[in-house]
Structure 1
Amino acid sequence: MDHHIIISGAGPAGLCLARALRGSGLSVALIDSQQRESLAQPAFDGREIALTHHSRSLMQQLGLWGLIGSDHIAPLRDALVMNGAPGRGQARMRIGHEHGGQPQLGFLVDNHHIRRAAWASAMAEPDETGSPPDLIDGRQVVRVATDDHRAEVQLDDGRRLRARLLVAADSRHSSTRRAMGIAADLHDYGRSMLVCAMTHPTPHGAAAWEWFDHGQTLALLPMNDCPETGQPRSSVVLTLPHTDIEVLAGTDPAPFGEAITARFGQQLGTMRLASTRHVYPLVGVLPRHLVARRFAAVGDAAVGMHPVTAHGFNLGLRSIEALSQALIRAHHQRGDIASPALLQRYERTHQRASRGLYLATHALATLYTRDERPARVLRELMVRVGERLPPFKRAVAGSLTGLA
């Protein structure tokens, strides 16, 4: 065999898995279509990642947390869910840090800073933690095959690699997973998200907003103050039909700021663009299986969450934790790292952690993006009732902290 494990995809999930296996005695090949330079220095992509306390602990164990830098880690103290137009009649539910028993609910980090830290940790020169994986950059996997003894991938330059196990970590639309014949249930919400950073004079109080307004969904994730202006800064997520998003994405910065200020009902004062803008289709993906013969999926390839709960990367880290521990244990016991029993245990473990949350999030997102009167009445009732139920708030806070 060329390696014990081949990982398809060198995004955060693939890099974190490679880092988790470093020093275990398992040899790893990491394949990605991007060039090494882009993987090492990823560009800002607009996405702000909400991390739980459990995820922070895992990232500390993997050596990532200290590489991010405190300037790039913002506290997530509280969460506010709103329904309807601003004013006295707006329904509001506050999930406070006190409901989770922690000084803050979680942490917020730009996705590109996580990617940079994951690269630095996984690809560092050999040291007491082991050696980096063998990176094959700028190449695509065009064919996969597995049998009872090995997995084989063919690259677009004709090379073939063999390993005991193939792992897909190449996005929610994983071509590797699809090549293994694993079907996935995809839900296209028919809308797109525009994400960017904006400054505003009114402090955000380290609180995240999820605001379901008529005809639009708005989210605000608190960031550290803008280093250029010193003003409060937030990551703004606007969900609309794609044609409307395209118009906004192409608007000049000044009128764009005016438009977003109006959409936020002037609640944060005059908002100004502080980054590039990025547009993503709103799609959820739930694979029917996470494993096959000598194959497993992790990260978004294992479950592609709707971003409303900001749990995508947290679930990805849990998948990496579960799979890496199982692989290392089997290797140390001189067992088969891709035995059907091992892979099935991993699938059950991660499906228990992710499937219920995915389905609940899907139901919530569907309800809160519909504008028919029955849906508006029901979500108004849910927010108002939730505000009056401390046990419900504690349950939500426990999910947000990752300590439930």
Structure 2
Amino acid sequence: MTGCDDSFDIIVAGAGPVGLSFAASLAKSDLKVAMVEPQALERLANPPFDGREIALTYASIRVLRELGAWDAIPACHKSPVQGARVLNGSSPFALCFDPPRGSAEPLGFLVPNWQIRDSLFKIIRLHDHVQLLCGHSVVGVTNSHKGAVVKLSDGRRLTARLLVAADSRLSRTRDLLGIAADVNRLGSSILICRVRHERAHHQVAIEWFDHHQTIAMLPLMEGVSSLLLTLRASEANRLLALDDDLFLMELTDRCRGRLGKMTLASTRHTYPLVTTWAHKFWASNAALIGDAAVGMHPVTAHGFNIGLCSQKQLARRILTARRDRRDIADPDMLQRYENCLRLSAAPLYYATNLLVGLYSGEHAAARLARHVGLRLAQYFPFVRHGISAMLRR
């Protein structure tokens, strides 16, 4: 990585997985890129286990493979998903999603978030055109026809032709750019941990919409699953505070023994549920990618995949403009980026919100609608096959 400088072609605010993948997409060009990240360099270089397992579609795997990140992730951390089941309350009926008949390929793969971050960081640090500015955050942005002037928390000022916000669904950079967003704090949290269990999962994921909770059982290595409980924030915090024995007793009860006897295989983590939809995905000399643009509810597991798609779309347009000696912050180019991302993300975003509303309702009409909806989907193969195809595209 290069030494200190104040002038760049592109400044990326946020070194999460999407920000890192965006920088990696540009790393082989001659563009000078700065990444501004509040976390210390040591934490970026050695990301800790955070509980999150990312469900990757084949499109996302192709992107990571092109960047060199997929092959850098050890095979033991790539868990195939051979099928998925959706359950509702105490009903024994399950909506099933499976690979096409005769296909030997799984629906997708589960990979730990920290492993994706680690593999992308290792790519970034190999390239001299990317400079990491860790331990700092963006506190001011000024745009002009010449580009963006970015003020950091230590008082330093950087200039760039293009500023890219990749700093979470509660993006400070987005706010500084004056871009409004629908930010929905849902009042719920996800509690995540890995468990060892006596019953086999057969590499089948389960999404169970039960009363006042949603449980996801994600198959990892043999005899181990990642359990995600979506609960009111206060209830999630209560469970987090229990000792291991009491926590396992309550977890087993909530899962109704579906996995048999369980023991903890990791630390526990909680994350508040927040969804975001930015009103615009670009401004003068600036663009949004990842959760700063679209922050999905995790129930359909597509948030990271949309984020990875967004960075690829923007990076491809920037590299094309650079090759053709055009402005990398051209407003028409940024508008085309927004149009493409909005077209691909909007259906999933609004359909997911509709699904969450239906499956979080506890009144009798909602319960009946869930029951009827699952059975209708099961008896209309094009629905199940369409969703399976979307996962595998």
Deviates more, 1:266-275 or 1:326-335: 266-275
State the number of aligned residues: 388
Aligned equivalent of 1:229? none
Q: What secondary structure does 1:181 align onto?
A: coil
Q: Distance in 2 between matches of 1:146 and 1:165?
A: 10
- Code of the residue aligned with 1:289 in structure 2: it is K
Q: Distance in 1 between matches of 2:175 and 2:101?
A: 41
Q: Deviations over 1:65-112 (max 9, x none)?
A: 011110111001101000011xxx433101011279561100000101
Structure 2 vs 1, CA of residues 265 and 57 (structure 1 numbering), >3 Å: closer, same or farther?
A: same
Aligned equivalent of 1:205? 202
Q: Provide TM-score, normalisation by structure 1.
A: 0.94
Structure 2 vs 1, CA of residues 361 and 99 (structure 1 numbering), >3 Å: closer, same or farther?
A: farther
Offset, 1:355: 1.3
Aligned equivalent of 1:299? 290
Q: Distance in 1 between matches of 2:103 and 2:337?
A: 30
Check if 1:22 corresponds to 2:27.
yes
Check if 1:49 corresponds to 2:54.
yes
- Code of the residue aligned with 1:375 in structure 2: it is A
Aligned equivalent of 1:236? 227
**1:283–1:306 contact (8 Å) kept in structure 2:** yes
Q: What secondary structure does 2:321 align onto?
A: helix
Q: What secondary structure does 1:239 align onto?
A: strand
Q: Deviations over 1:48-74 (max 9, x none)?
A: 100001111110000100111101110
Q: Deviations over 1:356-395 (max 9, x none)?
A: 1101001101110110110010011111111112111111
Give the alignment of 1:215-364 within 5 angstroms: 215-225=212-222, 232-364=223-355
Aligned equivalent of 2:67? 62
**2:200–2:259 contact (8 Å) kept in structure 1:** yes
Aligned equivalent of 1:177? 174
Aligned equivalent of 1:143? 140
Alignment gaps of 5+ in structure 2: 1-5
**1:99–1:394 contact (8 Å) kept in structure 2:** no
Structure 2 vs 1, CA of residues 273 and 298 (structure 1 numbering), >3 Å: closer, same or farther?
A: same
Q: Deviations over 1:161-216 (max 9, x none)?
A: 00000000100111001110111112222211101111101111111111001121
**2:290–2:311 contact (8 Å) kept in structure 1:** yes
Q: Deviations over 1:274-315 (max 9, x none)?
A: 111111111111111100001001111110000001011101
Q: Distance in 2 between matches of 1:163 and 1:100?
A: 52
Q: What secondary structure does 1:97 align onto?
A: coil
- Code of the residue aligned with 2:114 in structure 1: it is H
Q: Provide TM-score, normalisation by structure 2.
A: 0.96
Q: Distance in 2 between matches of 1:164 and 1:243?
A: 45
**2:147–2:162 contact (8 Å) kept in structure 1:** yes
**1:284–1:304 contact (8 Å) kept in structure 2:** yes
Aligned equivalent of 1:35? 40
Structure 2 vs 1, CA of residues 341 and 43 (structure 1 numbering), >3 Å: closer, same or farther?
A: same
Structure 2 vs 1, CA of residues 292 and 38 (structure 1 numbering), >3 Å: closer, same or farther?
A: same
Q: What secondary structure does 1:386 align onto?
A: helix
Q: Distance in 2 between matches of 1:97 and 1:253?
A: 37
- Root mean square deviation of aligned Cα: 1.3
Give the alignment of 1:84-95 within 5 angstroms: 84-85=89-90, 89-95=91-97
- Code of the residue aligned with 1:219 in structure 2: it is A
Aligned equivalent of 2:111? 109
Check if 1:7 corresponds to 2:12.
yes
Structure 2 vs 1, CA of residues 99 and 382 (structure 1 numbering), >3 Å: closer, same or farther?
A: farther
Alignment gaps of 5+ in structure 1: 226-231
Q: Distance in 2 between matches of 1:99 and 1:219?
A: 25
Q: Deviations over 1:118-169 (max 9, x none)?
A: 1011212x4xxxx351111101111011112211101111110000000001
Q: What secondary structure does 1:6 align onto?
A: strand
Q: Distance in 2 between matches of 1:263 and 1:136?
A: 44
Q: What secondary structure does 1:98 align onto?
A: coil
Aligned equivalent of 1:398? 389
- Code of the residue aligned with 1:396 in structure 2: it is I
Q: Distance in 1 between matches of 2:160 and 2:106?
A: 43
Q: Distance in 2 between matches of 1:82 and 1:31?
A: 43
**1:200–1:272 contact (8 Å) kept in structure 2:** yes
Q: What secondary structure does 1:367 align onto?
A: helix
Offset, 1:117: 0.7
Aligned equivalent of 1:122? 124
Q: Deviations over 1:337-362 (max 9, x none)?
A: 00110100000011111111101001
**1:196–1:273 contact (8 Å) kept in structure 2:** yes
**2:31–2:129 contact (8 Å) kept in structure 1:** no
- Code of the residue aligned with 2:10 in structure 1: it is I
**1:100–1:394 contact (8 Å) kept in structure 2:** no
Q: Percent identity?
A: 43
